[in-house]
């Protein structure tokens, strides 16, 4: 490039930086760019990174290769190149089959299950990349409901009557799945939720609330970690082991009182670095959503019980607040939550224990 040479004569410092960049950019990146020129090359590189990540633990010296691939893929899978597509019963079976295979939150039990999730009172959207034409990158499932859903099982029921979407006032995001392991760390989820919320708002003027119905996947693990030296907590955990304990009314009532408070505390206070411990909370709060409501027995599936002790939570996406909430979170790690959360959390076993400890100290 003669331009660089010309420029050098006038302002060598600029050019030195450009040269430094070129020098430290590993030839691997150029190699990957050339691999990408072949037909199907992009898919091969995504798959290559997927395998790389799998073997990462044993081969830490692959860090550099991974960094290069991640850098390139992050640049190529820029939001500007992704295409939002609605997924419905008109979508090619080839693509639908992949949703069944990829769904990571509430497993799809075959074609009739998928079909119910694509009917008039449900919506499904995915991002696609032009170089991977039949391969969803990420997809989201939405239920159009009257009132904010508190429990996921009714949403997943195959025989539930199909409601008129025009009468819905809530859009409930009940599942969001990243499909490409090879794109780990390249994030699209927030953009997908926002765009889908905007599109639905335009299509259905009566929609007032956009909210998730989300698991709290780290809750029970945290409970277990906290139980050491806290006999009340240990007893609570022991009871959670009993099969279908929640069917005993009296037991369930007492459990509810305790677990809801503990979960509120869990979502607000324990941290990983400066951010919430719960990964799903990190994601939605980072997007600017608001912690809205805890739902007792929101997910009574085996996995819902094992991870979240059956609780689910609604994060509300108010489009007009997202920017402000996101800023508050990004700068000060401030969590925007409904008033109830604070009250519940203050009154939890752990919080009280800590207050007592503080008082004793």
Q: Cα(266)–Cα(147) distance, rounded to whole angstroms?
A: 26
214 catalytic? Reply is yes
Among 27, 55, 61, 244, binds a second copy (CB under 8 A): 61
**Residue 62, exposed/middle/buried by CB under 10 A (0-12, 13-18, 19+)?**
middle
Q: Is 302 in the site for a second copy (CB under 8 A)?
A: no
Query: What are the residues whose beta carbons fall under 8 Å from the beta carbon of 52, sequence distance 6 or more?
Result: 62, 65, 66, 69
Phi-psi region of 86 (alpha: psi -120 to 50; beta: other; left: phi over 0): beta
User: Closest approach of Cβ 159 to a second copy, in Å?
Assistant: 17
Q: Is 21 in the site for a second copy (CB under 8 A)?
A: yes
71 catalytic? Reply is no
Window contacting a second copy (CB under 8 A); options: 83-91, 172-180, 285-293, 353-361: 83-91
Q: Cα(182)–Cα(330) distance, rounded to whole angstroms?
A: 27
Interhelix angle 41-54/27-37, nearest 10 degrees = 130
Q: Is 37 in the site for a second copy (CB under 8 A)?
A: yes
Q: Is 217 in the site for a second copy (CB under 8 A)?
A: no
Among 101, 105, 170, which Cα is nearest to 136's?
101
Catalytic residue among 284, 308, 326, 338: 284
Window contacting a second copy (CB under 8 A); options: 62-70, 136-144, 200-208, 279-287: 62-70
Give the nearer residue to a second copy in terms of CB position, either 87 or 312: 87
The label of the residue with tokens 């995001």 reads 173
For residues 166 and 204, the answer to whether their CB atoms sit within 8 Å is yes
Q: Is 110 in the site for a second copy (CB under 8 A)?
A: yes
Which positions are catalytic?
A: 214, 284
The residues of the shown chain that bind a second copy, judged by CB under 8 A, are 1, 3-4, 6-11, 14-15, 17-18, 20-21, 24-26, 33, 36-39, 41-42, 56, 60-61, 63-64, 66-67, 71-72, 75-76, 78-81, 83, 89-94, 96-97, 110-111, 115, 130-131, 134, 185, 191
């Amino acid at each position: 490039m003669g331009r660089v040479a010309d420029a050098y004569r006038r302002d060598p410092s600029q050019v030195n930086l450009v040269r430094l960049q070129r020098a430290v950019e590993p030839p691997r990146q150029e190699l990957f760019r050339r691999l990408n020129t072949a037909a199907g090359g992009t898919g091969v590189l995504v798959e290559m990174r997927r395998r790389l990540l799998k073997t990462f633990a044993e081969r830490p010296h692959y860090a550099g290769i991974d960094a290069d691939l991640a850098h390139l893929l992050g640049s190529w899978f820029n939001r500007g190149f992704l295409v939002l597509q609605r997924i419905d019963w008109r979508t090619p079976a080839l693509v639908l089959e992949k949703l069944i295979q990829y769904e990571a939150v509430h497993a799809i039990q075959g074609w009739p299950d998928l079909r119910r999730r694509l009917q008039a009172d449900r919506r499904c959207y995915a991002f696609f990349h032009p170089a991977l034409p039949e391969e969803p990158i990420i997809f989201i499932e939405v239920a159009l409901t009257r009132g904010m859903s508190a429990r996921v099982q009714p949403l997943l029921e195959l025989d539930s009557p199909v409601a008129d979407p025009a009468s819905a006032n809530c859009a409930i995001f009940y599942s969001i799945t990243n499909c490409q392991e090879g794109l780990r760390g390249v994030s699209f989820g927030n953009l997908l939720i926002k765009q889908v919320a905007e599109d639905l708002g335009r299509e259905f003027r009566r929609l007032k609330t956009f909210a998730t119905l989300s698991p709290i996947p780290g809750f029970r693990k945290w409970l277990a970690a906290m139980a050491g030296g806290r006999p009340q907590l240990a007893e609570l955990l022991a009871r959670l082991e009993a099969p279908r304990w929640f069917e005993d009314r009296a037991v369930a009532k007492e459990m509810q009182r305790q677990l809801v408070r503990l979960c509120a505390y869990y979502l607000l206070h324990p941290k990983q670095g400066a951010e919430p411990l719960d990964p799903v909370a990190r994601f939605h709060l980072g997007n600017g959503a608001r912690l809205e409501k805890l739902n007792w027995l929101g997910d009574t599936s085996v996995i819902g019980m094992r991870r979240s002790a059956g609780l689910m939570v609604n994060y509300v996406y108010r489009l007009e607040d997202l920017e402000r909430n996101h800023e508050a979170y990004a700068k000060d790690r401030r969590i925007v939550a409904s008033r109830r959360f604070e009250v519940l959390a203050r009154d939890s076993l752990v919080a009280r224990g800590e207050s007592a400890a503080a008082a004793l100290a």
